Amino acid sequence: MANAKTTNILDTGVKLVRNVGSFNFGNGAVVDLAIHVDKRREIAREAGADDRAVYLVDEFFESSEGFVSLLGSRHEDHVAYVGTADEPTTDSIDKLTAKLIAKGFSNPATIVGVGGGITLDTAKAVANLLTNGGNAADYQGWDLVKVPGVHKIGVPTISGTGSEATRTCVMTNKKTGLKLGMNSDHTVFNHLVLDPNLTATVPRDQYFYTGMDAYIHCVEALAGSYRNAIGDAYSQETLNLCRKVFLADDMMSTEAREQLMVASYLGGSAIAASYVGVVHPFSAGLSVVLGIHHCVANCIALKALGEFYPEANKEFLKMAERQKVLIPAGVCSNLSDEQYEALFKGTIVHEKPLTNALGSDFREILTIDKVVALFKQM
C-alpha cells in the first residue's frame, strides 16, 4: 500500500477550484477601488462590526504622494508598507498579524493588498490568520484553513505571478526550510482590481522576470502528465498572450501591459487547475538556499533546463534577447558541498510537480549528481 500511495500521488482528480469572486479590469480601474472598499465599510457598519480597512501596500509606493488616498484610504484606516527585499516567511506573516491585532485591527471590513506577488500573498496569508488564529506555519499545506479569512481585495501592480488568481500564498518556513503556501479556497481574493496603468512604472528587468513566471507556469503545466481540459485552455491562452507581449518590439507598450495582466490572471487560474513541472522545484531550491527571488530564479532555472523543455528554452532566450534583458549567470558557482546538498534537497522535496513532469520514478532521473550538475550551470 505504501508503494501505491507514492505512485498515485497525483490521483486526486480534477478538483473544482474556487475562482476570484469578481473583478474590474481596465486602464484607470483603480479609481473604482474606493467604491468597493466603501461597500465593505457599509456592510460592516450594518453588522455592527469594524468599518475600517487595512491597506497592505508594496513599499515601492511609499514615496508616491497621494497614492494611498487614490486607493480610498481614510485616516482611521491602517496602512502598512510591505517590504519586498525578502519573500514572505511564516515569521514575517506572524509578526504582521500580531501588529495588526495590537493596533486594534483584528477584524477589519476588508484587507486591500496592493503590489506584486509578495504583497498579494502577504494580504492573503494575514487575512486567513486573523480569523483562524494560531501561526502561519499551522496552515502550510492543503486545505488546513478552517474558516474564511477577512474579506480581501487584490490590486496587482506587476503582472506574472498569478497570485491574484490562486488559492495559495507562498511563504518560507525558515525553521523547516519548507516553502509552501496556505492552499485553500479561503485564500482566494474576494475581489480584484486589475488596472494595467499600475504596471507602467515597473523596472524593465523585473517586468520581464515576473511576466515569465506566467509563461513558465503554463509551459510546465502543458508538458506534464497530469492534465485536464480547463487547465490546458487557461495555459494555452496564457502562452499566446505571453508570446504577443515578449516577442513584440516593446513588452511594456500600453497594449502589451494589458495583455500581460490578463496572461497573469489566466496563468494563475491555470496553476490552480493543474501542476507545474521541473523549473519551479529548481527555482524553489535557489530561493530557499540562496535567497534568490522566485521570478528571477525561474528564469535562471529555465535557462539551464533546456533538456527538459527544449522549445520553451529556445523561445525564452529569444524573448530575453528581444527585450534586451540579461538573465543572471554563475549564481551557483563556488558553493560549498553543504549548499549543493541543500539545493538538491530543496528541489527534490517537490514531489507533485516532479512527478507531473517526469513520472513517479523522477528520483532515478534527478540523482544528486545530476541535480548538482544542473545547478552548476546556473
Closest CA to 278 of 225, 211, 207: 225
| Rounded Cα gap, residues 303 and 328, in angstroms | 10
Task: Classify residue 124 by its DSSP letter.
Answer: H
Nearer to Fe ion (CB atom), residue 217 or residue 257: 217
Least distance to Fe ion, CB of residue 74, Å: 35
Helix (H/G/I), strand (E/B), else coil: 117: helix
Which CB atom, from 77 or from 213, has the smaller least distance to Fe ion? 213
Is residue 126 classed as helix, strand or coil in its secondary structure?
helix
Q: Which residues bind Fe ion (CB under 5 A)?
A: 213
Q: For residues 112 and 60, what is the distance between their CA atoms, to the nearest angstrom?
A: 16
Which residue, 41 or 294, has its beta carbon nearer to Fe ion?
Answer: 294
Least gap, CB of 182 to Fe ion (angstroms): 16
Q: Which of 220, 258 has the CB closer to Fe ion?
A: 220
* Min CB(280)–Fe ion separation in Å: 6
Q: Which is nearer to Fe ion, 121 or 258 (CB)?
A: 121
Q: What is the nearest approach in angstroms of Fe ion to the Cβ of residue 302? A: 11
Q: Which is nearest to 338 in space by CA: 300, 284, 290?
A: 290
Closest approach of Cβ 297 to Fe ion, in Å? Answer: 9
- CA 206, 30, 216, 292 torsion-angle sign: positive
Nearest approach, Cβ of 172 to Fe ion (angstroms)? 14
Q: Would you say 94 or 213 has its CB closer to Fe ion?
A: 213
| Sign of the dihedral through C-alpha 180, 184, 189, 194 | positive
Helices (H), ranges, the chain: 2-7, 33-46, 67-70, 90-102, 117-132, 204-223, 229-246, 254-273, 279-290, 294-304, 310-322, 337-348, 351-358, 362-365, 368-376
State the cell numbers at 29.
Answer: 480601474
Nearer to Fe ion by Cβ, of 72 and 154: the residue is: 154
Position closest to Fe ion via CB? 213
| DSSP conformation letters of 59-104 | GGGTTSTTHHHHTT--TTSEEEEEP-SS--BHHHHHHHHHHHHHTT
- Smallest gap from Cβ 353 to Fe ion, in A, equals 10
